[in-house]
Amino acid sequence: MMRLYDYWRSSAAYRVRIALNLKGLKPETAAVDLRRNGGEQHGAAFAAVNPQKLVPALDDSGQVLTQSLAIIEYLDETYPQPPLLPGTAHDRARIRAMALTVAADIHPIQNLRVLKYLQQHHGASEAQTQAWARHWISLGFEALEGLVQRAPQHGPYCYGNSVTLADIALVPQMANARRFGCDVSVFPRLVAVDAALCALPAFSKAAPENQPGAS
């Protein structure tokens, strides 16, 4: 039995939903509302699942996995078709670097708990936290645009003609960028890749607006 602990607007959980769809897997879903009553992730019940108190978490037959990229790599090793880290060791390193530009450099400093901390402990206004998010997203996307443009394999996606871990990281972050009001038109390659990916059923079905409880 497989269960995904999910929140409809979490971009990290969005990544895992995409990967599950690509692999043709349909886990049971347990919703963890990150906003209700101060955040259900802080309760004892979910802390027993994931001590980090973050979504997503994936329970696969009693083995609980955390961190979206680690979960996706587990899925790729366990269900190898289609491969999300294809090619040579050099190819895979480049794909991981693209994904980590999002997951390590952009997302952690514009996520909900960081923005709430800025407001609650540093007096930042809503407008200031939005500007903070736009700054770090744009800075990271500038780097990612360059990585995709200079990739040795070109195609409709981040790295050639097949969907990879880099694409799974990109699309949720593009959704965040638009939600925060970033001008993504200055990243034409990323915009084109995002459009191609969002036309794929695995990505469209995973979109936040298509999840139960979306509002």
Last residue of a domain, one of 82, 99, 122: 82
Based on the fold, state whether residues 78 and 93 are members of the same structural domain.
no
Q: Nearest Cα to 176, choosing from 91, 95, 82, 111?
A: 111
Tokens 């990544």, located at residue: 15
Please check whether residue 211 lies inside any domain of the structure. no
Q: pTM, whole model, 2 decimals?
A: 0.95
Residue 34's pLDDT band (cuts 50, 70, 90): confident
User: Cβ distance 157 to 187 under 8 Å?
Assistant: no
What percentage of residues in the chain have a pLDDT greater than 90? 87
User: Cβ distance 95 to 159 under 8 Å?
Assistant: yes
Q: What is the reported pLDDT for 112?
A: 85
Last residue of a domain, one of 67, 82, 97: 82
- CA 206 vs. chain centroid, Å, equals 11
Based on the fold, state whether residues 138 and 191 are members of the same structural domain.
yes
Query: What residue type is assigned to position 71 of the chain?
Result: I
Based on the fold, state whether residues 123 and 31 are members of the same structural domain.
no
Please check whether residue 215 lies inside any domain of the structure. no
Please check whether residue 213 lies inside any domain of the structure. no
Please check whether residue 212 lies inside any domain of the structure. no
Rounded CA-CA distance 187/210 in Å is 26
Based on the fold, state whether residues 6 and 108 are members of the same structural domain.
no
Q: How many helices (H) and strands (E) does the chain have?
A: 9, 4
Residue 62's pLDDT band (cuts 50, 70, 90): very high
Based on the fold, state whether residues 68 and 11 are members of the same structural domain.
yes
How distant, in Å, are the alpha carbons of 48, 80, 194, 204 from that of 187? 41, 32, 11, 21
User: Cβ distance 113 to 52 under 8 Å?
Assistant: no
Based on the fold, state whether residues 76 and 97 are members of the same structural domain.
no
| Domain enclosing residue 30, as ranges | 2-82
Condensed to tens digits (0 to 9), the pLDDT of residues 127-185 reads: 999 999 999 999 999 999 999 999 999 999 999 999 999 999 999 999 999 999 999 99
The CATH number for 120's domain is 1.20.1050.10
